[in-house]
Amino acid sequence: MSFIPVRTYVSIYFFYVLCLLNVSEFSSLLADSILNSSNKRYVFILDASGSMAERIDGTTRMAVAKDQLLNFMSRLPFQAEVGLVAYGNRIPGCNSARLYQPVMKGGATTAMTKLTSITPSGSTPIANTLEIVGEYILRDNVETEIIFISDGMESCEGDPVAILRALKVRGKLFKMHIMGIDLDPKAEEDLMRLSMIGNGRYFKVHRREDMENAFISLNSFQNHTTPIAENTSIVTSSNQPFIKIISILPYSQNARQDSYILHFEYEGWKNQSDYLIQMNIMPRVKRLTTKEVPPLRDKRMADISQIDVQYQSAEKGKGKMIVQLNDPEDSETTLELWNISQSPRIVAKSDIKLIQNFSP
């Protein structure tokens, strides 16, 4: 790997800044579409039945659902109460519904971690799932937004309509929005009926963009102001900059190239708002080590096979990057946080993570 002069290196960074401004603008648009109320509960119900392993836009339905849920949860107000329920997930039979994240303030971060390990395999016990939501989550009269993602109708002879109506009769305060993935007409009719009884909205999902637009379109999710990163334990009292990889999930697969979506969070110095995120990709097998490197730079610089960067115009926040692997070998990645307010310099580096496919 040949040495690149410092001036050339800096010029390359500012070139990337100009090219990637639209990415930041898009992220701001999505952030503006999310609710600013911390008084509501958010309960996410995820279908983890076997059919969620089928493909949509070149990747699994489960991967698309995880990607959009992670992106949405990462932008909820920190004080929002969040819970996660799923069914299937390799549990056989019709009693597979589980409360993976009890409702709690600041629960989005934990729910995101639990979400990454869920695997599509099993049946579709919607009625049983709604019973669990009613028993463990809707105990008191706190307004709750339920977001339910599914690609099928009840398969365990339950009656989700009756369960939902019973919850309404008991005076439970909730709206249930449903995103139906590639449903046949009968299944779509059933889930649309559920969303109507639940005083929510129904969204058809046939492409990745449909689900992204569904989250943006929910009228109750607007005017986001406080990201999770403000109150997580990672933020230290000394305000040291940090950058962290939250998750890496499959994005699309084809004969030539696999791609993944990487979610991250960062915080830089206070009152400084010009940053670059650099993603370094290297083979898992170590080949070369560079001894003389600047502080915080990775000693495997000579092993780096791919580099990508993204501009950020805030002192802290969250984002995502698409990882396209050009090398079929197992790979690892790490992120660097660069402050470019004056002379570009690295201020933080993430742990190294394996680029792993979470789909079956």
Please list the alpha-helical segments (H only) found in 235-339.
Answer: none
Burial of 151 (0-12, 13-18, 19+ CB in 10 A): buried
With CA atoms as reference, report the closest residue to 1 among 259, 282, 278, 334.
282
What does the pLDDT read at residue 140? 76
Report helix, strand or coil for 216: helix
pTM over the 0.85 mark: no
d(CA 49, CA 202): 20
d(CA 203, CA 186): 15
Q: How far is CA 341 from CA 15, 144, 324, in A?
A: 15, 42, 29
d(CA 157, CA 180): 19
Contact 156, 125 (CB under 8 A): yes
d(CA 178, CA 209): 16
d(CA 37, CA 253): 38
Contact 108, 76 (CB under 8 A): yes
Spell out, as residue ranges, where the chain has pLDDT lower than 50: 1-37, 219-238, 292, 357-360
What does the pLDDT read at residue 53? 93
pLDDT per residue as tens digits for the range 37-50 = 456 789 999 999 99
d(CA 243, CA 359): 26
What does the pLDDT read at residue 288? 61
What does the pLDDT read at residue 2? 42
Task: Enter the tokens of residue 290.
Answer: 């560079």
